[in-house]
Amino acid sequence: MTAAAGGSRVFMSAPATARRMTEAASRFLATLDQSRLSAASFAFTDNGAAMAADERERLVKLIRLYVDRTAEEVASAQLQRIEQAGLESITFAWAGGSEPGQPHYYAIEGPTFVIEYDKTQDGANHIHSVLRDFTDDWGEDLLAAHYAQAHRASAGTAV
């Protein structure tokens, strides 16, 4: 199920899609030095604690997993905007456990977009994800609106 306002898309994923998102994130994490997950975030570029070539390749694949969930022409335009804004400015941030079944959250952010993946509710058995395009957006925070509407009873229980 997808809800959209402007360029924002909130994915309430079917189990198979949620599994692919989790597996793609796991493959990306497998390329990282696990000690880096304790950092608040790290950059795509080749300076400081930047990502290695294989990490960058896996991160682009993870981004494509979100982008490619839309119609081909929309996905192509979205990926072009992301690339034109500069892959070197993309950051990845992680919070939570790195073992299967542990609650976790990640965000991938570039100048024109943010992707968020939240698997912290219901014993890490419930996933929310969003791809937000800052350049084609009405400014509505759909994920926050969904939490407020659908998860009122569990407010304050997130990691």
> CA nearest 69: which of 133, 135, 153, 9?
9
pTM greater than 0.75: no
69-119 pLDDT, tens digit each: 888 998 999 999 999 998 888 888 888 887 778 888 888 999 999 999 898
Which has the minimum average pLDDT: 11-15, 106-110, 121-125, 141-145? 11-15
pLDDT band (50, 70, 90) for residue 138: low
> Which tokens go with 116?
């968020």
- Domain boundaries in the chain? 2-150
Q: Flag whether pLDDT at 151 surpasses 70.
A: yes
What is the pLDDT at residue 33?
60
Secondary structure of residue 6 in the 3-state scheme = strand
What is the pLDDT at residue 55?
79
Which has the minimum average pLDDT: 4-13, 63-72, 141-150? 4-13
Q: In what order do the strands lie in the sheet with 2-5?
A: 2-5, 8-11, 126-133, 113-121, 104-109, 91-96, 42-43
What is the pLDDT at residue 42?
55
13-23 pLDDT, tens digit each: 455 566 676 77
